[in-house]
A and B are shown apart, each in its own frame.
Chain A
Amino acid sequence: MKYCDEYRDPQIAQAIAGRIANATTRPWVLMEVCGGQTHTLMRYGIGDLLPDSIELVHGPGCPVCVTPLELIDQAIRLAAIPGVTLASFGDMLRVPGSSTDLFDVRAGGADVRVVYSPLDALKIARDNPERQVVFFAVGFETTAPANAMAVWQAHHEGIANFSMLVSHVLVPPAMRLILQSPSNRVQGFIGPGHVCSIMGFGEYHDIAREFGVPIVIGGFEPLDLLEAISMLVAQLEEGRAEVENQYSRSVEYDGNLPAQNMMRTVFSVVNRKWRGIGEIEESGLVLRDEYAAYDAQRRFGLESLEVREPAECISALVLQGQKKPVDCAAFGKRCTPMTPLGAPMVSTEGACAAWYQYKRHDLQHA
């Protein structure tokens, strides 16, 4: 209970942990899908509050982590073109490509900018008509409507010097991939709160029914996650496999319809490659033909690259909850957040980076 002092409501945290311990009669393996949830679980040591028979494994829910190396290399190439301004979220710009990263390219004179919204990138294009502004668009369903809106507004206003390098991925296909694996261990999911604020529950009902797996849509704070775990354990112990909503303060059944409409207007669903996992069917988004003029790959004639991942990286197994970060021989030695070998070590929301930040010292002193 060493981290309990950090909770704003330590008594409530202990009460929920007690309820989970009382309800648990068998071992259960639970996975959270969202990187923000991974970070909270690790930071607050929530696993330490739970009975030993509950195992938490971390899913592939960090969009920055699963962006393929090829796309990062393409972004680096784009940034090096004279007259191009490349903009993205700060997390994305820090990720190393196969030989350099975008901040290094900036140090070499390229115009690389951190933005907080895709509309900030659109504003740069509006204010600098002589430059080609490319927004490196990453994210799950939470972020896709915002990025779609930037393209829609560019089209609406006729801002011709704006384009997008799209690396958008979808959560449900990754959950299906994990559940379909013959070596799957996951018995219950904490669903991604803000993804469901946008998309609603529908797709998750299908997964729960098809695979007989309970899903509790959860928030991002320690008590949210403890509560979601408690609801999952109750379902598993009672033999139920339903979708329940712990994060009702932000998530409604149908999700956010205007956001879904904008996403569908601008993007269509395609197969996408996930770093560390490989191609997943119908797991990503691409600009629709009507908006293809805003596709940076097309505008700049970027040919597809094939970049190999280091062979010793076991990230595919980590991202699917089959191995823990410490099961990897390279963890904390050849692979650190400064020199990541694979997807889950590249951003603070990745499972390996979160283990490195919060669990490394425990392991050394164990």
Chain B
Amino acid sequence: MCLAVPGRVLSIAGEDPAFRSGWIDFCGVRKTVNLAFTPEVRAGDFVLVHVGFAISRINREEAARTFAFLAHIGALAEEGITPGEASPGNWDDAA
């Protein structure tokens, strides 16, 4: 309930700060995430996502470790990421 899943920001859309959103790669699973609380975030950054909102920016190494941990304990489903569809450590570098 209080966990947050790391993802990589592929692209950003929206002018209005409250509706600014990112297209986020969760190691193969992609979702739209609200970026209103992380105005500093740019495409290519890694963020921690909680209930569809980015709450902080983290570095790539931390993102990879945390993602692998959450996959290991089966907690990815909390953010709607289907286990098996995501492959830990496999970030899309298309950004």
Contacts and interface: CB of A to CB of B under 8 A. Distances in A.
Interface stretch (A13-21, A45-53, A56-64, A78-86): A56-64
A290 to B, nearest CB: 16
A64 B18 contact: no
B1 A63 contact: yes
A139 B1 contact: yes
A219 B77 CA distance: 19
B55 A117 contact: no
Interface in B31-79: 34, 36-39, 48, 50-53, 55-56, 58-59, 62, 65-66, 68-69, 73, 77-79
Would you call the interface of chain B mostly helix, strand, loop, or mixed? Answer: mixed
A94 to B, nearest CB: 12
B27 interface: no
B53 A43 contact: no
B56 A197 contact: yes
A116 B51 contact: yes
Interface residues of B, number: 31
Nearest to B53: A146
B2 A36 contact: yes
Contact of A256 (B56, B65, B68): B56
Nearest to A114: B80
A156 B18 contact: yes
A262 interface: yes
Most central of B18, B37, B56 by chain A CB within 10 Å: B37
A228 interface: no
B92 to A, nearest CB: 20
B73 A262 contact: no
Contacts of B19: 153
B24 interface: no
B13 interface: no
B22 to A, nearest CB: 13
Interface of A: 8, 34-36, 39-40, 43, 61-64, 89-91, 116-120, 138-140, 142-143, 145-147, 149, 152-153, 156, 192-195, 197-198, 220-221, 249-252, 256, 258-259, 262, 347, 349
21 contacts: A40-B73, A61-B2, A63-B1, A63-B2, A89-B1, A89-B78, A116-B52, A119-B52, A139-B2, A143-B50, A143-B51, A146-B50, A146-B52, A149-B18, A149-B36, A194-B3, A249-B59, A250-B58, A256-B55, A256-B56, A349-B1
Interface of B: 1-4, 17-19, 34, 36-39, 48, 50-53, 55-56, 58-59, 62, 65-66, 68-69, 73, 77-80
